[in-house]
Amino acid sequence: MTIRFFSVLFLFCAALQPTCVAAAPPNVVWIIVDDMSAHFSCYGETAIQTPNVDRLAADGVRFTNAYVTAPVCSTCRSAFITGMYQTSIGAHHHRSGRGAQKINLPDGVVTIPRLFQNAGYHTSLGGWPKTKKGRFGKSDYNFEWDASIYDSNDWINRKPGQPFFAQIQTPGAKRRGGNTESAENFQARCAEIIGAATPISKVTLPPYYPDDPVLLADWAAYLDCCRYTDRLVGEVVQRLKDEGELENTIILFMTDHGISHARGKQFLYDEGIHVPLVIAGPGVKAGQTRTDLVEHIDIGPLSLGLAGIEVPAYMQGRDVLASNYESRDAVFSARDRCDETVEHMRSVRTDRFKYIRNFLPQRPQLQPCAYKDKKSILVALRAANEAGTLNDVQKKLLFSPVRAPEELYDLQVDPHELNNLADDRKHAKTLAELRQRLDRWMEETNDHGRQAETASMYDSDMKVYVDGLRARKQGPAHLQVILNNIALMKKWAAEGK
């Protein structure tokens, strides 16, 4: 449905006044947050209050079982901006296609912003707080894309009366930084803006993490990131209200993956793939809670559907708000190379069970990864492991030198995914069913990860990665860690690990 259609509808209704009134096409605003799980009070978090996200949920629909198809920024974003699995479009390696060798979308695949543009919408990619004039917000797509899919970085530049599709990117939990000092500085700033910082006494860590002071302080700062993000949501809503656009705007709130932690970001446990998803606005009934399984690649099709724009048949995401939608009985996720660290994992999750396949089981649970290893929380965990202060469960789940080829968890009784049931005969039937289900999904969706990344593509991306760090004057010690990791990845690959 295009703007031309709405114009014809308006003229038709004008001729029939007062029997009908043409509805203006709705605006669509996506608020996409970095590195944050569903730690909002409307999702049951009790340590903090998040009134703006809560209000948005009360005004629309809150999904309690929304999952990303990739637990890291660029692969997740490459997927949701196309409505396709990142594994199907060859964008499954984090920060790939950035060097001399490029990645192009399959023929016929069109990005969501371009589809909105084709329907007459103004499209923007901005940040909040607002990005500098002319500067786009975070994109992070792994494929080659034309910047013209975005008209600007703010909807204020649209033509009079033109509907808009706006993406607002916010750093989310990245605001706490990667070390204890940056977390403390953020909390001090947060206390000035939105009240007292969250105390450590309110923090309850998952059982696979020790009650280490560094981890507790980091999690408290993370919760304040959630509070700060909630404040930004309120500011976006207020701006729409001030501009008279709120009543005709669909607002979608989502994060790009779970918390950046040892078992969260980059991993297929629920800490890494379970995200909040809240939608409110015209066409969305208020006060709903949806418990069915949805994937983050659904946000494109559902947004197009709410705007009256035809959803392309090739899209693997689904319009989960359509009247004829049939709910899923499983969701799928994939993790591949992240920066220099080569990895290959796939998962299928039903409402009760999670099955994970580790294609590189001879590698340690926490492979070397310079991005994560420099964080204070990982430094503290490795120190605790060396000191022997982790309990048996923590040591096994975090620092096992090898992985089980398959993992199976009964999430109904084991929501923290502590007890691998893959070798339990009582669950052999479930294991076989989910194993086959994953095989079928990889085949049917043309999972590009079935073939290893070529050495030339890896080298191409590593060159631009290392050169970029040098240009930003990263210290020689950090660069050497990355170079050592690259060499280790190649050594392990040569050994068949």
Same domain, 201 and 350: no
Torsion of the alpha carbons at 109, 113, 118 and 122, rounded to the nearest 10: -170
Residue 330 lies in a domain: no
DSSP state at residue 245: -
Assigned token pair, 128: 């909040």
CB atoms near residue 213 (< 10 Å): 11
Average of pLDDT values for 73-80?
98
First to last CA, the chain: 52
Residue 6 lies in a domain: no
**Comparing C-alpha atoms, which of 149, 221, 222, 171 is closest to residue 32?**
171
- State residue 334's pLDDT score: 98
Same domain, 282 and 431: no
How large is the angle between the packed helices 455-471 and 476-494, nearest 10 degrees?
A: 170
- Which residues on neighbouring strands pair with residue 290, listed in sequence order? 63
Assigned token pair, 61: 């629909």
- State residue 211's pLDDT score: 97
Range of the domain at 274: 27-322
- State residue 129's pLDDT score: 74
Q: Could you identify the residue written with the tokens 């970029």?
A: 468
Does the reported pTM lie above 0.75?
Answer: yes
Same domain, 208 and 109: yes
Same domain, 429 and 283: no
Is the pLDDT score of 18 beyond 60? no
Q: pLDDT above 90 covers what percent of the chain?
A: 93
Is the pLDDT score of 160 beyond 60? yes
Check: CB of residue 220 under 8 Å from CB of residue 39: no
Plot region of 465 (φ>0 → left; ψ -120 to 50 → alpha; else → beta) = alpha
Instruction: Report the residue count for the chain.
Output: 497
For residue 92, give the 3-state DSSP assignment. coil
**Pairing, β 345-349 against β 353-358:** antiparallel
pLDDT class of 80 with cuts at 50, 70, 90: very high
Q: How far is CA 221 from the centre of its chain?
A: 20
Is the pLDDT score of 86 beyond 80? yes
Please name the residue ranges forming H helices in 158-248: 180-194, 213-242
Q: What share of the chain is helix, strand, coil (3-state, %, to 5)?
A: 40, 15, 45
Same domain, 289 and 430: no
Same domain, 351 and 305: no
- State residue 24's pLDDT score: 87
Is the pLDDT score of 131 beyond 90? no
Phi and psi, residue 58, nearest 5°:
-65, -30
- State residue 133's pLDDT score: 73
As for how many domains the chain has, the answer is 2
Is the pLDDT score of 330 beyond 50? yes
Same domain, 390 and 284: no
Average of pLDDT values for 48-69?
98
Residue 327 lies in a domain: no
For residue 36, give the 3-state DSSP assignment. coil
- Chain segment 409-423, per-residue pLDDT in tens: 999 999 999 999 999
Average of pLDDT values for 293-317?
98
Residue 7 lies in a domain: no
pLDDT class of 222 with cuts at 50, 70, 90: very high
Same domain, 171 and 292: yes
Which CATH number characterizes residue 96's domain? 3.40.720.10
Residue 14 lies in a domain: no
pLDDT class of 7 with cuts at 50, 70, 90: very low
Say if residue 67 is exposed, middle or buried (CB neighbours under 10 Å; 0-12, 13-18, 19+): buried
Assigned token pair, 126: 């901005």
Is the pLDDT score of 134 beyond 90? no
Same domain, 296 and 360: no
Q: Could you tell me which residues come within 8 angstroms of residue 454 by beta carbon, excluding any fewer than 6 positions away?
A: none
- Chain segment 248-266, per-residue pLDDT in tens: 999 999 999 999 999 999 9
Is the pLDDT score of 168 beyond 80? yes
Residue 287 lies in a domain: yes
Check: CB of residue 278 under 8 Å from CB of residue 56: yes
Residue 18 lies in a domain: no
Check: CB of residue 291 under 8 Å from CB of residue 278: no
Average of pLDDT values for 418-440?
98
Same domain, 258 and 402: no
Same domain, 301 and 376: no
- State residue 128's pLDDT score: 85
- State residue 308's pLDDT score: 96
Same domain, 116 and 261: yes
Is the pLDDT score of 5 beyond 60? no
- State residue 435's pLDDT score: 98
Average of pLDDT values for 297-322?
98
Is the pLDDT score of 81 beyond 70? yes
Check: CB of residue 30 under 8 Å from CB of residue 52: no
Q: pLDDT above 70 covers what percent of the chain?
A: 95
Average of pLDDT values for 368-377?
96
Check: CB of residue 389 under 8 Å from CB of residue 375: no
Is the pLDDT score of 16 beyond 70? no
**Comparing C-alpha atoms, which of 375, 346, 340, 197 is closest to residue 268?**
346
Average of pLDDT values for 436-464?
97
Is the pLDDT score of 161 beyond 60? yes
For residue 391, give the 3-state DSSP assignment. coil
Q: Which long-range contacts does 464-471 make (Cβ < 8 Å, 24+ apart)?
A: 464/98, 464/99, 464/100, 465/95, 465/98, 465/339, 465/340
Average pLDDT, the chain: 94
- Chain segment 346-368, per-residue pLDDT in tens: 999 999 999 999 999 999 999 99
Distance CA 166, CA 251 (A): 10
Residue 159 lies in a domain: yes
Is the pLDDT score of 4 beyond 60? no
